C-alpha cells in the first residue's frame, strides 16, 4: 500500500521546520545505516540527538496526529522520531529494504518497521532528480511531491532515491509500527474505512448500514490488531 498524504504540513509549520534544519550542522547520512544501506547510501543527515532535529521532529509528529488520512492508512502504534536528510550534487540512495527493527540510539526505544514515510520539505521544481522510487505489487512507482506533502509505503518494499543533479532535496523520513502487521489487512481496513466515510457522508452516520459496516470494521481491527 502506497498512500500520498497531501498538505500534512501547513506553510507556517513547513517554514518553521526549514528554519530549524537549515541552520543546523549536517553529517554523513550513514550514521543511521545498516550494513546493506551503507553500501547504497550517499547523502547528508541531521544528527537525531540535536535540539533542531528533536524540535522539528515533534512538529511533524504533531501534524501526523492531526491527519485523519494518516491515522486511517497507518493505524500507528509506535512512531520512530522523525529524521532529516539532504541530497545534492549527484547524491542518491540506491535500491534497498529498510531494517526490520529500528532502535533509537542511546535509548531502549525500538519498533518493528512496518511502514516507512517521507515528508517532502523542498518544492519539486527546486531540484532535478531525487524521485523516491518504490517497487510495489502494482509495479514501480515514482514519487516527488510538493513541499509539506508526505508518502507512506511498506518498509518491506525495495525502494531508492534517484540522484539529485540540480538543487537540493530536503526531506524528513522515519518508520512506524502499525497496530496491524499485515499490509494486505491494513489495505482492506483502509478501503473499508474510506467506503464507510463516503457512505456516512451520503446517508448520515446514524444510518443502519453505516452502523453495521462500522461494526464490521472494528471487529476486523479487533481480530488483527496487536494492541
Q: Which domain holds residue 192?
A: 183-224
- Write down the pLDDT at residue 32: 57
Question: What DSSP letter does each residue of 103-151 carry, written as one string?
Answer: E-TTSS-EEE--EEEEEE-S-GGGSEE--EEEEETTEEEEE---TT-EE
- Write down the pLDDT at residue 38: 57
User: Is residue 90 classed exposed, middle or buried when 0-12, 13-18 and 19+ CB atoms within 10 A define those classes?
Assistant: exposed
* pLDDT tens digits in sequence order for the chain, 227 residues long: 899 999 999 999 999 999 999 999 999 877 655 555 556 789 999 998 899 999 999 999 999 999 999 999 999 999 999 999 999 999 999 999 999 999 988 888 999 999 999 999 999 999 999 999 999 877 899 999 999 999 999 999 999 999 999 999 999 999 999 999 999 999 999 999 999 999 999 999 999 999 999 999 999 999 999 87
- Write down the pLDDT at residue 96: 92
Number of folded domains in the chain? Answer: 2
205: domain CATH number is: 4.10.860
Rounded CA-CA distance 133/153 in Å is 11
Contact of 155 with 114, CB cutoff 8 Å: yes
Residues 36 and 102 in one domain: yes
44: domain CATH number is: 2.60.120.620
Residues 164 and 198 in one domain: no
Residues 195 and 84 in one domain: no
- Write down the pLDDT at residue 34: 53
Residues 203 and 133 in one domain: no
Backbone angles phi, psi at 166, to 5 degrees: -150, 140
Residues 157 and 214 in one domain: no
- Write down the pLDDT at residue 41: 83
CA 147 to mean position of chain CA atoms: 14
Rounded CA-CA distance 21/45 in Å is 10
Question: What DSSP letter does each residue of 210-227 carry, written as one string?
Answer: HHHHHHHHHHHHHHH---
- Write down the pLDDT at residue 87: 97
Amino acid at each position: 500500500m502506497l498512500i500520498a498524504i497531501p498538505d500534512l504540513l501547513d506553510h507556517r509549520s513547513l517554514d518553521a521546520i526549514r528554519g530549524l534544519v537549515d541552520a543546523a550542522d549536517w553529517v554523513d547520512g550513514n550514521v543511521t545505516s545498516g550494513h546493506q544501506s551503507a553500501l547504497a547510501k550517499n547523502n547528508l543527515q541531521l544528527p537525531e540527538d540535536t535540539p533542531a532535529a528533536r524540535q522539528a521532529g515533534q512538529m511533524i509528529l504533531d501534524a501526523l496526529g492531526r491527519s485523519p488520512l494518516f491515522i486511517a492508512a497507518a493505524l500507528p502504534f509506535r512512531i520512530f522520531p522523525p529524521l532529516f536528510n539532504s541530497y545534492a550534487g549527484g547524491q542518491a540512495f540506491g535500491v534497498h529494504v529498510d531494517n526490520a527493527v529500528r532502535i533509537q540510539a542511546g535509548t531502549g526505544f525500538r519498533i518493528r518497521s512496518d511502514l516507512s514515510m517521507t515528508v517532502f520539505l523542498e518544492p519539486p521544481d527546486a531540484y532535478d532528480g531525487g524521485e523516491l522510487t518504490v517497487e510495489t505489487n502494482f509495479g514501480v512507482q515514482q514519487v516527488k511531491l510538493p513541499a509539506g506533502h508526505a508518502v507512506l509505503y511498506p518498509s518491506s518494499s525495495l525502494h531508492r532515491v534517484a540522484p539529485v543533479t540540480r538543487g537540493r532535496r530536503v526531506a524528513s523520513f522515519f518508520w512506524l509500527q502499525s497496530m496491524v502487521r499485515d499490509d494486505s489487512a491494513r489495505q482492506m481496513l483502509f478501503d473499508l474505512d474510506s467506503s464507510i466515510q463516503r457512505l456516512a457522508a451520503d446517508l448520515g452516520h446514524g444510518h443502519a448500514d453505516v452502523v453495521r459496516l462500522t461494526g464490521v470494521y472494528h471487529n476486523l481491527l479487533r481480530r488483527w490488531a496487536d494492541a
